[in-house]
Amino acid sequence: MRPGHLLCAAVMAALSQPATADVHIVPRPASVELSKGQFRVNEDTAIAFESGWPEAKALAAYLQSVLQPATGFAFRVSPLDKADVSANTIVLARLTQDAGAEAYELQVDSGGIRIAAPQAAGLFYGIQTLRQLLPPAILSDALVESVPWDVACVNIEDRPRFAWRGMLLDVSRHFMSMETLKKCIDTLALHKMNSLQLHLTDDQGWRIEIKKYPKLTEVGAWREETVIGHASKKPVKYDGKRHGGFYTQDDIRELVAYAQERFVNIVPEIEMPGHAQAAIAAYPELGNTGETLPVHTTWGVNENIFNAEESTILFLQDVLEEVLDLFPSTYIHIGGDEAVKKQWKLSPAAQARIKELGLKDENELQSYFIRRMDTFLTERGRRLVGWDEILEGGLAKGATVMSWRGVKGGVAAARAGHDVVMAPNTHTYFDYYQGDPALEPLAIGGNLPLDRVYRFRPIRSTFSEEEAAHILGVQGQLWTEYIATPDYLEYMAWPRMCALAEIAWTPQDLREYADFRQRLDTHTQRLDAMKVNYRKLDD
């Protein structure tokens, strides 16, 4: 037998444990032991939480709130020391051994259910697994009658592979409602995803209220019209309809709190120095030409970038100051991609600035710009993250790199000692087609079917242990040039985000496409119950 066959046999043995024979959890847990029998949730089932653990109390209420709508049962909630836990109880308990911040154990026997974790996040993920052990209809927000709410007897020990399990949502190209964002957070949480990067600013719209600079939203949040069809198709046609919207600071606070309750960290992205036309439309002095520009109405890389004057750097730091007040995230994304240097090359002011600072060229000016933001954020206890272009011209040590132009930038960054989030357009751009373009709704281009996403390996076999430790995780991107509605957003996101969740969570040696694909047949019933408009599976 060739070595390949041996490896294959070992993987097959792992995959054929009874584990996934009857439980179809996505992402697949690290360890599942299935035994005979089941526990039936009924109108007398109670919930008990570890006494003196306020987060467990809050999660008991959360568990009650997710089990009630479909079952119609009350689920009495009480602390463990007061509860009669002899039978018919779902217990949320503290696990004393240090299994990791997000780890949990879940045991089901015919008498009851016990979820235990060292920290609250683990309890939350145990609850998500429990929701998937119940019949898919449990995820319905309306009463579902005559379903036996049975849970198979099982012993699960689980923890994530990566700490950064993310999705990017571009709310600049198309504004998305609070309701859409909340549903998105709920769906991510079910998949144990823990990071949502909001791409809040770009050429086509500025989407966050900044008190000090009201024109950013008064002017920058609205564009006169939007290109129809693919932007590369000439002649370009426009719809003549004003598009826009923004999140007030109260909206942002509400959203951050909603996400926190679901263990999702929102990473704000404020783009600089490129992708800046909406901001320049609001405050022309931020640009290089003095020209008054409109908020951009078509797609593509744009040469209108911020100038690098001290006043502009301070303006953007004022913006970040308000952003930091709203978002508790350690990581703050400053963009950094696709900053075309043409205007800096032509601008006498930019050239004078390069001289004054003793820099070599425009790349070093970008690097200076980013370093200023890095120092600003670091002084405030935060960490800068940016697209892989921030490596060009040198990068401050503490900065984190998001690798989008394939994995090359990420590999180089990890080698240079930076933390990395893998977000390559080769495997994680969910704005790309997922089937034959002739049969799919209009997308930006590309070809990224589900199985290709699934096969992505964030850690290369050539990485040293130290380099591998710099890979924080993975992120799936939803750029929304061609995604104008919540339905289409869900169509592009799911089930590809299910595949990404499994890359992010499941040990590599338990990942196998055929096994995943089989579980998806059950899992899509859950998405149906949640009314998520996922793309139907190919056979």
Cis peptide before 294 (omega within 30 of 0): no
Please identify which residue in the block is written with the tokens 């969740």: 501
Compute the distance between CA of residue 176 and CA of residue 336 in angstroms, rounded to an integer.
23
Which position has the token pair 């024109």?
Answer: 215
In whole angstroms, the minimum distance from the beta carbon of 84 to ligand TNX comes to: 55
Q: Which helix (H) or strand (E) holds 526?
A: helix 513-529
| 305 CB-near residues (< 8 Å, 6+ apart) | 273, 274, 275, 276, 287, 288, 339, 340, 341, 343, 344
Which of positions 467-486 make contact with ligand TNX (CB under 6 A)?
Answer: 479, 481
338 lines the binding site for ligand TNX (CB under 6 A): yes
Query: What is the contact mask toward ligand TNX in residues 212 to 251, using x (rule: CB under 6 A)?
Result: ----------------------------------------
Q: Which is nearer to ligand TNX, 90 or 493 (CB)?
A: 493
Strand partners, 201: 206
Minimal distance in Å, beta carbon 387 to ligand TNX?
4
Catalytic residue among 170, 202, 209, 388: 202
Under the binding rule (CB under 6 A), the answer on residue 303 touching ligand TNX is no
β-strand partners of 237 = 228
For ligand TNX, give the closer residue by CB, 223 or 262: 223
Stated as kind and residue range, the H or E segment containing 109 is strand 104-109
For 35, the 3-state DSSP assignment is strand
What is the closest distance, in whole angstroms, from the C-beta atom of residue 200 to ligand TNX in the complex? 13
Residue 306, SS3 per DSSP: coil
The shares of helix, strand and coil residues in the chain, as percent rounded to the nearest 5, are 35, 20, 45
Q: Which residue lies nearer to ligand TNX by CB, 362 or 388?
A: 388
The residue from 191, 243, 275, 333 that is catalytic is 275
Among 506, 517, 475, 5, residue whose Cα is nearest residue 199 = 475
Check residue 137 and report its DSSP letter: G
Question: By CB under 6 A, what part of segment 153-212 binds ligand TNX?
Answer: none
One-letter amino acid for residue 180 of the chain: T
Of 337, 364, 392, 528, the one binding ligand TNX (CB under 6 A) is: 337
In the complex, minimum distance from the CB of residue 299 to ligand TNX, in angstroms, rounded to a whole number:
7
DSSP string, 479-510: --TT--SHHHHHHHHTTHHHHHHHHHHS-GGG
Shortest distance in whole angstroms from residue 96 CB to ligand TNX: 43
Q: Which is nearer to ligand TNX, 492 or 530 (CB)?
A: 492
Compute the distance between CA of residue 213 and CA of residue 219 in angstroms, rounded to an integer: 11
- Give the DSSP H or E segment for 46: strand 46-49
Binding-site member from 147, 412, 444, 484 for ligand TNX (CB under 6 A) = 444
Write the interaction track for ligand TNX spanning residues 358-387; mark x where CB under 6 A is met and - where it is not: -----------------------------x
How far apart are the C-alpha atoms of 188 and 267, rounded to whole Å? 14
Shorter beta-carbon distance to ligand TNX: residue 46 or 500: 500
> Closer CB to ligand TNX, residue 165 or residue 173?
173
Nearer to ligand TNX, 215 or 230 (CB): 230
Total number of residues binding ligand TNX (CB under 6 A)? 9
Q: To the nearest whole angstrom, how small is the minimum distance from the Cβ of residue 172 to ligand TNX?
A: 9
Told to judge if 338 belongs to the known catalytic residues of this protein, a careful annotator would answer yes
**Distance between CA atoms of residues 417 and 39, nearest Å:** 49
Among 125, 429, 433, 505, binds ligand TNX (CB under 6 A): 429
CA angle 201, 306, 173 (to 5 degrees): 25
Q: 3-state class of 517 per DSSP?
A: helix
Shortest distance, CB of residue 429 to ligand TNX, whole angstroms?
5
442 binds ligand TNX (CB under 6 A): no
**Minimum gap (Å) between residue 423 Cβ and ligand TNX:** 8
Q: Restricting to residues 384-423, which ones interact with ligand TNX according to CB under 6 A?
A: 387, 404
Please name the residue ranges forming H helices in 204-309: 215-218, 249-261, 277-282
By the criterion CB under 6 A, which residues form the site for ligand TNX? Answer: 337-338, 387, 404, 429, 431, 444, 479, 481
Q: Which active-site residues does the annotation give?
A: 202, 275, 338
